[in-house]
């Protein structure tokens, strides 16, 4: 199958994404407006009949002082990754990006290698010899994913450093997902562990109410988010980032981004943002106050978001990044413990891959990044 690649309009790109059952929220055209400090381009792959069969959002970041760029396709491009002629998809992309002044290309194939169900993870946590998720036997393995990795290596792509838990700008290698397809809401609720079910009940009894907010409630979101950042020792994004995210994503599709608050006695004690692309729904950012944790607002909020995702016809509710550490002394262990309680699955993606178009500049970037 012969493929041609060219720049496409945002409208063409969006129409293609809308024709799919799902795609990453970082591959919708509006994501370029969220990442406004990057230059962007929409790429399209066309087959011999002239039909659009793949798309990619490329973000370009200029190197200090020279007109050369890092080209980045977060969780993309959206192509047929299992195609036997994967080279025919990626070679024209590399040629095009080089022509655009890119010295290196970074991409994140949306390909899952392994999954572990909650029971497997729990047994891993209970085993003192197991320190990492990859030490636990996977519940499901996608053999084709290994072929994709092999093809990429043969073409000269290099596997990036492990993305860890997906904090900051690196995409998470490990995520936690609750599958919704072919399950009733009752099945989903039954899948929760005892603690989760108890906490949902506790929140209900205490009178916790979960409501949706709008753009005007983002400062209230920010207040809770900054409390969380201080408590969990991470650098918060500014309010302007979430305002830009809301405006950009919901202008493209009025149901792309949602904001939720867990209220107790007329006070917002937890909040979260939710992103929707086709059948894939993400819980993307979460926040909570330091007090009233005993009324379990976060559990109540997740249960509401899960029910809403289900009502939208979602096939998966994605709780985003986890670390692969199963060590109880690890500072990120609480995150996986909280998410495992939903009865979902941990999934490992292929991770991010780099193609150095100019080896010298690529090396310089590596050194620059390691010093930051």
Residues 119 and 189 in one domain: yes
Is residue 169 in some structural domain?
yes
In sequence order, which residues have a C-beta less than 8 Å from that of residue 135 and are 6 or more positions away?
Answer: 124, 129, 326
Is residue 66 in some structural domain?
yes
Question: What are the distances in angstroms from CA 35 to CA 2, 3, 364, 365?
Answer: 33, 29, 24, 20
| Residue 170 confidence (pLDDT) | 62
Angle ∠(228,274,112) on CA atoms, nearest 5: 100
Residues 322 and 207 in one domain: yes
Is residue 156 in some structural domain?
no
Residues 135 and 98 in one domain: no
Residues 173 and 235 in one domain: yes
State pLDDT tens for residues 85-116: 999 999 999 999 999 999 999 999 999 999 99
% of the chain residues with pLDDT over 90: 86
Domain that holds residue 73: 4-108+352-370
Is residue 262 in some structural domain?
yes
Is residue 150 in some structural domain?
no
DSSP strand pairing (140-141 vs 174-179): unpaired
Residues 70 and 169 in one domain: no
Taking the model in full, what pTM does it have?
0.93
Number of folded domains that form the chain? 2
Residues 96 and 116 in one domain: no
Residues 175 and 47 in one domain: no
- 290: domain CATH number is 3.40.630.30
| Residue 179 confidence (pLDDT) | 97
Residues 66 and 128 in one domain: no
Closest CA to 134 of 145, 151, 121, 150: 121
- The tokens describing 95, both together, are 């040629």
Is residue 149 in some structural domain?
no
For residues 22 and 360, what is the distance between their CA atoms, to the nearest angstrom? 37
State pLDDT tens for residues 291-334: 998 999 999 999 999 999 999 999 999 999 998 999 988 888 88
Is residue 234 in some structural domain?
yes
Residues 326 and 360 in one domain: no
Residues 91 and 133 in one domain: no
Residues 93 and 206 in one domain: no
Is residue 157 in some structural domain?
no
Ranges of residues in the chain with a pLDDT under 50 are: 163-168
Residues 259 and 125 in one domain: yes
């Amino acid at each position: 199958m012969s493929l041609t690649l060219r720049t496409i309009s945002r409208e063409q790109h969006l129409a293609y994404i809308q024709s799919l059952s799902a795609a990453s929220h970082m591959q919708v055209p509006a994501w370029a407006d969220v990442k406004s400090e990057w230059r962007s381009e929409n790429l399209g792959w066309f087959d011999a009949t002239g039909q659009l069969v793949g798309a990619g959002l490329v973000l370009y970041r200029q190197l200090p002082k020279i007109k050369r760029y890092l080209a980045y396709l977060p969780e993309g491009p959206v192509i047929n990754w299992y195609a036997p002629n994967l080279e025919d998809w990626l070679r024209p992309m590399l040629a095009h990006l080089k022509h655009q002044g890119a010295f290196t290309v970074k991409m994140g194939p949306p390909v899952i290698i392994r999954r572990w169900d909650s029971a497997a993870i729990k047994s891993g946590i209970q085993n003192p010899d197991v320190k990492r998720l990859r030490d636990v036997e996977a519940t499901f393995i996608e053999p084709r994913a290994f072929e994709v990795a092999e093809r990429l290596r043969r073409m000269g792509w290099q596997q990036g450093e492990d993305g860890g838990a997906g904090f900051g700008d690196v995409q998470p290698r490990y995520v936690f997902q609750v599958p919704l397809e072919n399950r009733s809401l009752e099945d989903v609720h039954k899948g929760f562990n005892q603690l989760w079910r108890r906490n949902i009940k506790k929140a209900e009894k205490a009178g916790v109410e979960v409501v949706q907010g709008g753009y005007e409630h983002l400062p209230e979101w920010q207040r809770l988010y900054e409390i969380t950042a201080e408590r969990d020792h991470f650098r918060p994004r500014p309010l302007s980032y979430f305002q830009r995210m809301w405006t950009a994503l919901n202008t493209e599709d009025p149901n792309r981004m949602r904001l939720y608050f867990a209220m107790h006695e007329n006070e917002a004690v937890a909040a979260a943002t939710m992103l929707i692309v086709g059948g894939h729904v993400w819980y993307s950012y979460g926040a909570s106050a330091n007090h009233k944790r005993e009324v379990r607002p976060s559990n109540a909020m997740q249960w509401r978001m899960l029910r809403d995702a289900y009502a939208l016809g979602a096939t998966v509710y994605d709780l985003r990044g986890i670390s692969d550490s199963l060590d109880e002394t690890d500072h990120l262990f609480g995150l996986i413990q909280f998410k495992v309680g939903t009865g979902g699955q941990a999934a490992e993606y292929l991770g991010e891959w780099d193609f150095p178009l100019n080896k010298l500049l690529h090396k310089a970037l590596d050194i620059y990044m390691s010093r930051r």
